[in-house]
Amino acid sequence: MDQVRRGVLGAVGGLDRWLAGVTAVFVLAATVRYIDRHDPGPVLAAAVVLTIAVVWWAARHPRRPAVDAAFAMVVVALWAGLTFAAPSFAWVAVPLAFIVLRSLPQPSGGAVVLAMALVVVIAGSRLSDRFDPTLIVGPLGLAGIAVAAYHGLQRESERRQSLLDELTAAQELLVAEQRTVGALRERTRLAREIHDSVGQGLSSIVLLLDAARRSWESDPDRARENVTMAEGSARHELVEVRRVIGDLAPAAIHTGEQLVGAIDALLRRDAPPEIEVELRVDGDRESLAPGVVHTVLATVRGAVANSVEHARASRIVVTLVFHPGRLTLDVHDDGRGFDPAGVGSAGERGRGLGGLRSRAEEGGGEVMIESTVGEGTTVSLHLPLEEDA
């Protein structure tokens, strides 16, 4: 609260020391002038005490309002006595007024400064036998201007501090919202990965076991065959689960050559032996951003999974082309094809294709699906490449 009360001047770390230094210089100059013309006497002692007091004020820590108020009253009393003894000490009122304003709450500080102006008026009037209006208007006017300017700066500082507090709160809220959005985006990505890699395999296992259960009594051989196929699928899905977990780690692929090798390994692993697979590559890329690598591999994996599980394809061709600043990926199969407009979002394939599109959009790219019933399917990915990968 003390910091808020002091306002803009309280935020200037060296201001107290500057005020104390200027006050000490003014006191020293007035003291030298007085000693040159008079016997020092008690004036010198009072000047020394006043100087020590303002130096202590500048160096004190921490500040306490009660101590500051007592200090202000003491130094103003010392200064008033010095000014009545030697009017040259009236100049000390200039820096001392700001010290008082910083030490006392309002309106007490303003009242004390105006009282100091009256002391200057009275001390100055004793030097002349004739009435001089400037001796009255000058000190009182300067005191009023100093108080008004100080409080104007203080109010402006408090408004700015309020805006800064609101901005800080808004930034903290924005950071929290960004974290929430990031968590939701990551959950969506994981759900998409699980669907594209593990979900469909588990559905196949369930269907095989259900068929085995229904034919267990009537056709034991067929039931055992279905159980064996379900076991093989379960082992394969276990490998897929481990792969998904491994994909959560930072990508170790940094170059186009490494990406090509990863796609080749993925095709050998995911495509059954009876399906002919071909990988074509054109162009090269020295460095790739992790997001680009992840999007390309996930698109290849999803498109190949659709070709194997839904299209009944006999041949899959994957074409990867590096252009300046962008990348193009085509996955074409010669399967039975389908009508893209007729695939609903509720279908299994609909969710897979939707996942491919949303993943590409997150990377700033797009996925296009071209398919005709009986003529195969082509999944095309167009993705910008980050120059500073």
Hey, where are the domains in the chain? 2-127, 254-389
Whether 296 and 327 have beta carbons less than 8 Å apart is answered as yes
- In b/e form, how buried is each residue of 136-157, taking b as 16+ CB within 10 angstroms? beebeebbeebbeebbeebeeb
pTM: 0.43
pLDDT of 324-339, one tens digit each? Answer: 888 999 999 998 888 8
Partnered with residue 6 across adjacent β-strands are: none
pLDDT band, very low/low/confident/very high, at 1 (cuts 50, 70, 90): very low
Q: Find out whether 143 and 117 touch, Cβ atoms under 8 Å.
A: yes
**What does the pLDDT look like over 258-313, one tens digit per residue?**
888 888 888 887 777 788 999 999 987 767 877 788 888 888 888 888 888 778 88
- Reported residue count of the chain is 389
User: If DSSP codes are grouped into helix, strand and coil, which group holds residue 320?
Assistant: strand
Q: Which CATH number fits domain 254-389: 2.50.20.10, 1.20.120.530, 3.50.50.60, 3.30.565.10?
A: 3.30.565.10
Instruction: Name the percent of the chain lying above pLDDT 90.
Output: 8
